[in-house]
Amino acid sequence: MIEIIPAIDLISGRCVRLSKGDYSTRKEYGDPFDMARQFADAGALRLHLVDLDGAKESEPRNLATLERIASLGTMKIEWGGGIKSRDALKSVLESGADFAIIGSVAATYPELFEEWLEEFGAGHIIFGADTLEGRLRVKGWLESAPMSLNDLLKRFSDHGLKQVICTDISRDGMLSGPNTELYVGLQNSFPKIDFTVSGGISSMDDIRSLDLLGLRRVIAGKAFYEGKIKLEDLGKWWQNE
């Protein structure tokens, strides 16, 4: 079964959601620790945390929230946002994250990303690949990366890359259904890498379709917060994993 990973986005220590990464579309959903505890109690084994303040300011800003959620001790935590240096990466892992998501650095400074894969272990590093109309985007989705996603995946796989979260920017927060063609193509081209579907999930039916296609992981964010996917539905899925 495909693994469903619930998402919590953070701004100023609060749980929020955006549409297409636009901060002006911010909607708040309460305390992230309480939300994380609900997911844990329902049976989630992994949590997707994004530090939107950190992404904006190029260094982690919500590590106290990470530490608090990690204290639950029941879920693996993947953390993204603001990891632009070795010290930032180290601080995220030391604050309780099991996996660090690296996006712009990997796409623009691949040699540095490869060093981090070697130093911290490929089992703790996730490549965060954000795409728009077939192009890999960086720096808050404002610029195109110099290398293609496929070229980077070929390069990083030689250094042991195991996990990639691929976000289709055009569908992020839009509840329009996932870009299944993109993810099936990536998974078939790089079978040794676990790809996580991110962007567009609107219902449990979307997730069931991804499962039937053999995809391995999917992030559930806005669909949950907007009531399209119920916590009890997620709980039933997790109980059967």
Query: 168 an active-site residue?
Result: no
Catalytic choice (9, 51, 168, 172): 9
Instruction: Give the Å distances, CA to CA, from 73 to 16, 193, 241.
Output: 23, 26, 19
- Spatial contact of 91 and 128, defined as CB atoms under 8 Å apart: no
Catalytic choice (51, 130, 168, 172): 130
- 3-state SS of 7-57 is EEEEECCEEEEEECCEEEEEEECCCHHHHHHHHHHHCCCEEEEEEHHHHHH
Please identify which residue in the block is written with the tokens 């303040």. 53
Query: 130 an active-site residue?
Result: yes
Distance of alpha carbon 100 from alpha carbon 31, whole angstroms: 22
Look up residue 232 and give its amino acid. Answer: E
Instruction: Give the Å distances, CA to CA, from 12 to 27, 65, 169, 197, 231.
Output: 13, 10, 23, 26, 25
Active site residues: 9, 130
